[in-house]
Amino acid sequence: MVKKFNGMYSPGMETLNRIFKVESTTQLVIVFIVFGITGSLSMLVSRPLLALLGVTPDMMHGVVYWPIRILGMLLVYQLILVAIGALFGQFAYFWRIEKRILSRIGIHLKSPARQADG
């Protein structure tokens, strides 16, 4: 079934909804906004954090500084992603993504044990 988007048939939007595993085009737009904000914010926040740790481009060669900076951005990104997602009401969606990312690097989070009723 092809859904209408702004009065036009858009099979492309349905494909994006399926790829990103979202329930609606509105949720897809929110996901894109969260990814955009998180990426920009991680770049802005990582530089002062590294400076607090004494890692600045003036103190070391670019070949050493930039891999450290990129690693710092990736770590900050992971932390900020869930927080910004929660602000937009999408905590469950971004927590699922976060668990998948962490499992790919070898960190497996277990879901809390469900207690049986009665």
Please give the pLDDT value at position 81: 94
Classify 79 in phi/psi space as left (phi over 0), alpha (psi -120 to 50) or beta: alpha
Predicted pLDDT of residue 106: 81
The domain locations on the chain are 25-104
**pLDDT tens per residue across span 16-48:** 888 889 998 899 999 999 999 999 999 999 989
Per DSSP, helices labelled H in 1-118 are 11-19, 25-52, 62-87, 91-104
Mean pLDDT estimate for the chain: 84
**Number of neighbours of residue 84 by Cβ within 10 angstroms:** 19
